[in-house]
Amino acid sequence: MTAPMKCATVMATTLLLMIGSCAAPDGNEIEVALPSFEADVSWPILPPDFEWGQVIGIATDSRGHVWTSSRSEIAEWDRNGTLVQSWSARGPEGNWSVVHGLFIDHNDFVWTNARESNLTLKFSRDGQHLMTIGRFDETGGSNDTELMGRPAEIWVDPLDNEVFVADGYANRRVIVFDGETGEYLRHWGAYGERPDDAYRPDPTVGEPSRQFRTPHGIAGSRDGSIYVADRANNRIQVFRQDGTFVTEKILRQRCAPEDQPEIPECGREAAFSVGFSSDDAQTYLYVADGGSHVIVVLRRSDLEKVDEFGGPGTGSGQLGRPHNLAVDLDGNLFVAEAAGPWIVDPARGDSVQAGFRPQKFTLSNSR
């Protein structure tokens, strides 16, 4: 990581970090320095003949273990990166398709989605299927309270067991369920408004879209905010848990069509997944920018960008379509890579496709 050290201030006596505020330091405050990471080439330790497909789900649990989803198989890896177990999430008839997104909740239940089957799924730790939200191969639009629309990621609140789903490849909403019963609770679209599937933004206006375009990543902070990675709109939107809109951050301007003048530092699909630094105040927000193949670091108090690292490639620490991310108890960052760009080897002249792996970035020191 190449950015200079920048510090955020947080109150030492409280875990709350209010959006949009950053108090001046005094004797009761500590400085939380910008985290730095080193790619761990020894993680994970693959069993013989193990092969990755696209890795489109990654999560950490209370034991410090890491979970991955690839080829619709859920795998658990211990702290050393050794495979503990794996099991199929394709369902009793083997037809649940594209197991996508992953979250291990406070009760050790495993949540994921069968994206192309329009299902959100709950499993026990050992792979026993416990709950299905939605109906197989059915969808009803962004305001249907029973059916899903190609859901992407999940976050479960440990305080009230509410399940927040970024229901976003077909629908354009966040939808919330009771984690015990599966009962529908509420949903909302961009800016906390009612989703409108007929809406199309006017490209000549230049204003942010009033609707989500692939709400893909979701995570809740300790201070009660919900962060949504609005993938195709290149932005993060922040809400209260009742759906009230708080603020947003445009990560990159959307690139112009090919027949239009170039927009400097534009991006396509710049917000795939989000996670938080491990300090008590969760001072920093990590964003997987799958279009530019980097991890972006934002200061959570004002959502200003303070760093980014990675870049397209197949080497250690380089990234190919970072698709999901998770942070463990020690602050280490884990990134799931889907199908990345083709990279030309300048020495040999041939090409190899980046991605198709998870990576561990060990928290070295806060700079």
Write down the domain spans for the chain.
7-366
Predicted confidence (pLDDT) per residue in 77-111, tens digit: 999 999 999 999 999 999 999 999 999 999 999 99
Q: Is the pLDDT of residue 41 over 50?
A: yes
Predicted local confidence at residue 260, as pLDDT: 76
Q: Shortest CA distance to 338 belongs to which of 280, 272, 256? A: 272
Report whether 9 contacts 24 (CB < 8 A).
Answer: yes
Q: What percent of the chain has pLDDT over 70?
A: 91
- Stretch 338-357: mean pLDDT: 91
Q: Shortest CA distance to 188 belongs to which of 206, 205, 171? A: 171
- Stretch 2-26: mean pLDDT: 39
Q: What percent of the chain has pLDDT over 90?
A: 83
Average pLDDT, the chain: 91
Predicted local confidence at residue 268, as pLDDT: 87
User: In the chain, what is the straight-line distance between the N-terminal and C-terminal CA atoms, in Å?
Assistant: 10
Predicted confidence (pLDDT) per residue in 145-198, tens digit: 999 999 999 999 999 999 999 999 999 999 999 999 999 999 999 999 999 999
Does residue 265 or residue 303 have the better pLDDT?
303
Q: Shortest CA distance to 300 belongs to which of 246, 231, 366? A: 246
pTM value?
Answer: 0.91
Confidence of residue 347 (pLDDT cuts 50, 70, 90): confident
- Stretch 216-227: mean pLDDT: 98
Predicted local confidence at residue 366, as pLDDT: 58
Report the CATH fold assignment for 7-366: Neuraminidase (2.120.10)
Q: Is the pLDDT of residue 254 over 50?
A: yes
Kindly calculate the radius of gyration of the chain based on its CA atoms and give it in whole angstroms: 20
Strands 7-11 and 153-156: unpaired
Sheet containing strand 153-156, strands side by side: 153-156, 162-167, 173-178, 184-188
Q: At 190, phi and psi to the nearest 5?
A: -55, 145
CB within 8 A of 147, min separation 6: which ones? Answer: 118, 134, 135, 138, 139, 140
Q: Shortest CA distance to 326 belongs to which of 289, 293, 278, 364? A: 278
